[in-house]
Structure 1
Amino acid sequence: MAKTSGKKPDKPRKPTAGERAKVASDAHKTIARNMKATHDYFIEDRYEAGLSLTGTEVKALRMGRASLTEAWIEIDRHGEAWLQGAHVPEYLQGTWNNHSPRRKRKLLLHRAEIDRLSQRVQAKGYTIVPLELYFIGGRVKIEIALARGKQDWDKRQSLREAQDKREAARAMSAVNRRQG
């Protein structure tokens, strides 16, 4: 008979507090979504960009209060991308140096991405819209998209397709409940 060493098999160790904090900080925490963007535009290309913010803006965003509904992205003649029209309310505990709620905020993108976006926006019917504002690892990021505007009939068709998809899913779940 083979003799065993009498040692217990190694148990997986528990993560330390620092490791748990790192996992939590890497999580994707959504601050705001632009729900109208998918209704009003065909989304073609998506990009992730950083935002240049002041301290009170970050604190206000940590409270989860922001609006991208009326926001848009503009590329100026110097080749810099700016977030316009986004509303980040003033930080309640801020002092005299609190930020302006609707100020324009600089987007942090690579030069090649800005050039590609600028080139496509020159084509008729294209624009750049913000889709989502979120935290990743303690940094504020924004998902932007190159988009083409929808006509009214496009919007009706999209709503019809979404309704058909919902009805099909509802019918499938009813069939699965009967069988199961």
Structure 2
Amino acid sequence: MAKEQGRKLIAQNKKARHDYTIIDTYECGLVLTGTEVKSLRQGRASLVDGFVSVESGEAWLYNVHVPEYSQGTWTNHSARRKRKLLLHREEIDKLDSKTGETGNTIVPLSLYFKDGRAKVEIALAKGKKEYDKRQALREKQDTRETNRVISAVKRKERGQL
């Protein structure tokens, strides 16, 4: 059997980009059990309540829901167990010092397979206030509206020529 190539997305946390200002992103591996990998290969996972914590020099991923594997036996995993993240020592130390600052946290952005290995993209993020969220949404709507008007004008010009 040929080895998988490229990136196959399993789950994405779209709400994180709305709720947080992303400062820096990291790609890291996950320590998983066999049934977790099989469940992820079926494309089933949820990053909604997930967060990362650094404890005694190791990074841990919490509250990520990977449902139990349907054909699993007594060796099946628990759905919301904490999972160890594989990062370089310098990255862990940097994340640990940055989360000590007020308002910073680490959130998972996406979970995917890269060349057959499970990876998670995490981000050092700062929480947005409610008015920041509204402002970002308003800016997004404004740019969408201006792009719509510009494309309509261009279509009209093409039709007249």
Q: Please report the TM-score for the alignment, with normalisation by the length of structure 1.
A: 0.85
The AA in structure 1 aligned to 2:109 is: L
1:141 and 1:116 map into 2 onto residues whose CA distance is: 20
1:119-130 to 2 correspondences below 5 Å: 119-130=97-108
Q: After TM superposition, where is structure 1 displaced by more than 4 Å over at least 4 residues in a row?
A: none
Which structure has the larger Rg?
Answer: 1
Task: Say how many residue pairs are matched.
Answer: 158
| Deviation, structure 1 residue 173 | 1.9
Q: CA RMSD in A?
A: 1.2
SS for the counterpart of 2:76 is coil
Matched, 1:178 2:156: yes
Instruction: Find the counterpart in structure 2 of residue 134 from structure 1.
Output: 112
- The 5 A counterparts of 1:40-79 are 40-76=19-55, 78-79=56-57
Query: Following the alignment from structure 2 to structure 1, what is the Cα–Cα distance between the partners of residues 155 and 8?
Result: 34
State the distance in 2 between where 1:145 and 1:151 align: 18
Displacement of 1:47 in angstroms is 0.3
Percent of aligned positions that are identical: 61
1:82 aligned onto 2:60 = yes
Amino acid at match of 2:118: V
Residue 179 of structure 1 and its aligned partner are, at CA, apart by 2.8
Is 1:29 the equivalent of 2:3? Answer: no
What is the CA distance between 1:26 and its match in structure 2?
A: 2.2
Where structure 2 has 5 or more consecutive residues not aligned to the other structure, the ranges are none
Which segments of 5 or more consecutive residues in structure 1 lack a partner in the other structure?
1-17
Residues in 1 aligned to 2:147 and 2:58: alpha-carbon distance in whole angstroms: 44
Q: Does residue 156 in structure 1 map to residue 134 in structure 2?
A: yes
Are residues 1:114 and 2:92 paired? yes
Higher strand proportion, which one? Answer: 2
